[in-house]
């Protein structure tokens, strides 16, 4: 398989065509393409063995326990060979950059930038190296399902790309982030131990997604990360959590199917002596459109602490005021 450097436009089109939710799994095709790339580097005196490993969890220990690595090895493989590999890779990247007429930097699609390169695994992926993806053999390997590779003295470990589930997050940016409340957002077909659970771009403990009924107020209070705490509250139920913390209904408006709850309002003082008002508000909204089973969905949202009426709180959720939010029909 000859070496070819793809253009920026072709690279963009082929990366955009990758199906992240249903990655390909073509070991034979991938090994052929990636083996050609390795031969091009001329690091090994003889052809190394290519071994598919199912996932990324506890990779160092699992490779050793599987007999796939042993003795002293670092990052890629023993120091002398590792240095040679890094030198060849550096020179090859430079050759690609100077030999390509279109010298613009390749732009990875947002799905790869916001997931692959921000921690699906605790190690670099194939997609961290944008320049090498210009090599048609490396790109073909990625299309065949390759996600990571790790080189050793006489073998190369190949790890497939997992299935990843994404959702749009943010009203303005519409950023794609890892998210699933039905199972792992990162799923390795043949290696459940490597599965990862994410909620709105934050990696969370498995039970938050698979067993939300196990979440307690102690879990929420002791969560060290704000985003994990918020994911727990969402699964636990914001209104349930708020009522247990002492929120009381202060206003109800049947026109909008809304009830405003508040907690606090006691004046206190900061260390500087300035007066503060500690108050929290939550609005409960009842969807006027029934679900297929006839129930009306109840939704709770946090609203600013200065809300005084349910009408004001509902209007705020739409970015409006009480003067501009007066619908005649609820949908």
pLDDT tens string 117-167: 455 555 667 777 778 888 999 999 999 999 888 888 788 899 998 888 888
User: Tokens for 103?
Assistant: 């010298």
Flag whether the pTM goes above 0.95.
Answer: no
Cα gap 294→296, rounded to integer Å: 7
- DSSP state letters, 197-243: -EETTEE--HHHHH-GGG--HHHHHH-SSHHHHHHHHHHH-HHHHHH
Highest mean pLDDT among 82-91, 152-161, 218-227, 264-273: 218-227
Neighbours of 76 (CB within 10 A): 18
Task: Specify the length of the chain in residues.
Answer: 331
Cα gap 306→277, rounded to integer Å: 10
Provide φ and ψ at 183, rounded to 5°: 165, -165
The domain limits of the chain are 8-161, 164-236, 247-317
Helices (H), 42-177: 59-65, 79-99, 110-113, 136-143
Sign of torsion over alpha carbons 185, 189, 192, 193? negative
- Please report, for the chain, how many H helices and E strands are present, in that order: 11, 13
Q: Would you call 6 helix, strand, or coil by DSSP?
A: coil
Q: What is the 3-state secondary structure (H, E, C) of 71-92?
A: CCCCCCCCHHHHHHHHHHHHHH
User: Tokens for 79?
Assistant: 């120091």
Cα gap 112→119, rounded to integer Å: 11
pLDDT tens string 77-129: 566 666 778 888 888 888 887 766 565 555 555 556 555 545 555 566 777 77
pLDDT tens string 277-315: 578 999 999 876 666 666 767 889 999 999 999 999 999
């Amino acid at each position: 398989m000859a070496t070819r450097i793809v253009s920026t436009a072709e690279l963009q089109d082929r990366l955009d065509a990758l199906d992240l939710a249903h990655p390909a799994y073509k070991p034979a095709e991938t090994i052929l393409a990636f083996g050609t790339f390795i031969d091009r580097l001329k690091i090994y005196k003889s052809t190394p063995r290519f071994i598919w490993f199912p996932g990324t969890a506890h990779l160092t220990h699992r490779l050793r326990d599987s007999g796939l690595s042993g003795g002293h090895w670092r990052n890629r493989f023993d120091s002398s060979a590792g240095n040679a590999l890094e030198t060849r890779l550096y020179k090859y990247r430079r050759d690609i950059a100077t030999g390509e007429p279109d010298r613009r930097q390749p732009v990875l699609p947002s799905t790869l930038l916001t997931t692959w390169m921000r921690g699906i695994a605790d190690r670099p992926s194939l997609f961290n190296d944008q320049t090498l993806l210009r090599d048609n053999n490396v790109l073909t390997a990625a299309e065949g399902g390759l996600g990571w590779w790790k080189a050793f003295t006489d073998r190369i470990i190949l790890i497939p790309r997992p299935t990843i589930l994404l959702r749009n997050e943010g009203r303005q940016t519409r950023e794609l982030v890892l998210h699933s409340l039905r199972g792992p957002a990162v799923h390795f077909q043949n290696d459940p131990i490597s599965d990862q659970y994410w909620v709105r771009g934050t990696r969370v403990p498995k039970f938050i997604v698979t067993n939300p009924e196990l979440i307690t107020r102690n879990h929420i209070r002791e969560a060290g990360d704000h985003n994990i705490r918020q994911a727990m509250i969402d699964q636990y139920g914001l209104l349930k959590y708020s009522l247990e913390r002492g929120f009381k209904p202060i206003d109800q408006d049947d026109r909008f199917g809304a009830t405003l709850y508040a907690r606090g309002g006691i004046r206190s003082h900061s260390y500087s002596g300035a007066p503060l008002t500690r108050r929290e508000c939550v609005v409960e909204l009842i969807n006027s459109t029934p679900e297929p089973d006839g129930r009306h969905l109840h939704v709770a949202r946090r609203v600013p602490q200065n809300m005084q009426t349910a009408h004001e709180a509902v209007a705020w959720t739409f970015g409006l005021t009480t003067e501009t939010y007066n619908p005649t029909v609820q949908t």
